[in-house]
A and B are shown apart, each in its own frame.
Chain A
């Protein structure tokens, strides 16, 4: 009869599509050798086994130590689709670990992956962009992506790709542009984002607004945003249904309205009323960004005049809110509105 104790070991993992994993510390070196073998099935099975192992950070560290990344780089150029898909998946899982990200930066995986941007297989491209997105969340990773000159190609791809891949690229760009936006601004990212702001999908609108926010942090970005006439669209998005879209649009407006031209463009586009509506939103981020945007607009004399009648809303916001940041933002807003030269 079977025992009533549950074994501490995992059930035996018998999967014919995976290579057998050697015991202990021999697992990864053997897999590395198998990755470099000539036989296709060996390589595929080794990749499947590697995918499973890479969830453990210790294995990731060991893999990078023994140079698995170089064999993976060679496999990225393989003819077989499955090999490429699995190789990109392995790299994607490795990129979720910090050790993996550091290894990427040291071994120059970014240029190797960039050859696959035009790959025919969509899963391959999706994994590739997932890897880039995970890499870009680290500041040094974002710097690495920017310094390898990938931003123009990513921006170009933004136009070409659809759906989930577009969202991934938008996320990657948002992080990278926060590091350094000069290259992206040179490659016409603002018109593309302008188109995406009007797309049908909610998440794409939200992410496009977020990327636009990152774009408009440097001064050149702000000027471009004003030149391409994105500000009226942003004001239109303030009335959107989704909270995320509203919050990001308000944030982008905040940055765009720092310059004088931006301020007046926003005032002309009647931004004050939707922003005042947003102040009553339940989501904190929306309220915060709306407060900041109104603060920017209150720097201009016309804005100040319009907002002086609405100071009481800010006062209630300041007293009622629990978030420290919102309270401070409301305080600053009141101070700016009531400033006399």
Chain B
């Protein structure tokens, strides 16, 4: 069989081969209803080969082998032909059974007759009639008249009476409602917006008022603070000045008291020291001191010089005498002790060179003042040491030389 089949295929002419890699076959059974997804998008269901109808199960030697798809089965062919013949036969039989008009009697013929109300001529020939027409040679073709088709049909009229079509008031209501409603809605919106704006403005104004008030308050408080502070500063300043002045005054008073006390004995002491220093002087006294007394002193000096000279001379005389007497006595008596004249002679000897020199000086300076006679009583008068001292002082003041001072002191010694 298989070989017969293959022969048939090769006899058919076109060879058909089919190869494929082994693959699992998808199951054709659709599990779900027609889904909107494409078939490819669904997960491919692979069928179980054991349950596939195409796979032959069981033993194959006693199996009915069907024909291949393209090949008709000869048995099938035969059966089909038979069926056709039978159908034809049946049809012929039925034809015969159908009732027909009986055949015409002899000598007669069936004829078709029209039985309608109006007869119709049935002829092949068309009736022809020749007609001719001719337009007028000299006339223009008139305008085609307006084509008004003939009125056909039945005339019918109708009239719409009031209230038949629609009730205007009823119908217009929804439209009006919408119109008016929209308008009012729009206007309400606008009014609300304006109100909101007005509210905002009012709030702004209120805020500005409050802000102004607060600002004014702040400035007022600042101003107040400033005034108070300045006032405080001023008062503090005043107070400070008062305290300062107070301090100063007390200090001044204390200083004054102290100074007064200090100066209380300053004045007498000043005066006394000044007096002591000789700043207060009687001009006449001064004059006497400056003018008269130096001269006086000079004269006194001179006188004293003269005295000195006299004494020196006297001393010399005495010395001479004494020496002579000494010589005489020495020649006579050797235990003559010191005489008072020696004492005089001693210092006198020491004094001599100086006195002699000074005397010469004095005599040179005072040659013009012969005051020997006057000096003598004066010498007598100044026996007391205090007067001496005074003259000494004045002599110092007059700036006499040291030699005269020594002389004076030695003179004083002598007088003592």
Contact = CB atoms under 8 A, between A and B. Distances in A.
A4 B210 contact: no
Interface residues of B, number: 18
Interface in A274-299: 284-285, 288-289, 292, 295-296, 299
A299 B220 CA distance: 9
B223 A217 contact: no
A251 interface: yes
Interface stretch (B103-111, B172-180, B386-394): B172-180
A208 to B, nearest CB: 16
A213 B212 contact: yes
Q: Is the interface of B mostly helix, strand, loop or mixed?
A: helix
Interface in B246-268: none
Interface in A10-26: none
Interface in B174-215: 174-175, 178-179, 182, 205, 209-210, 212-213, 215
A332 B173 CA distance: 64
B217 interface: yes
B215 A217 contact: yes
Contacts of A217: 215, 219
Contacts of B354: none
Contact of B220 (A5, A251, A289, A295): A295
Contacts of A332: 217
A299 B224 contact: yes
Given A259-B223, A285-B205, A296-B220, A4 B213 contact: no
A88 interface: no
A299 B209 contact: no
Nearest to A219: B219
B216 A258 contact: yes
A246 interface: no
Interface in A181-240: 213, 217
A329 B213 contact: yes
A115 B310 CA distance: 134
Contact of A325 (B178, B205, B210): B210
A332 B178 CA distance: 58
B223 to A, nearest CB: 5
A255 interface: yes
A299 B209 CA distance: 22
B210 A296 contact: no
A325 B215 contact: no
A79 interface: no
A292 B210 contact: no
Interface of B: 174-175, 178-179, 182, 205, 209-210, 212-213, 215-217, 219-220, 223-224, 227
A-B complex: 5 closest residue pairs judged by Cβ atoms? A254-B216, A258-B219, A4-B175, A258-B223, A292-B216
10 contacts: A6-B178, A254-B212, A255-B219, A288-B209, A289-B213, A292-B213, A292-B217, A295-B217, A325-B213, A332-B217
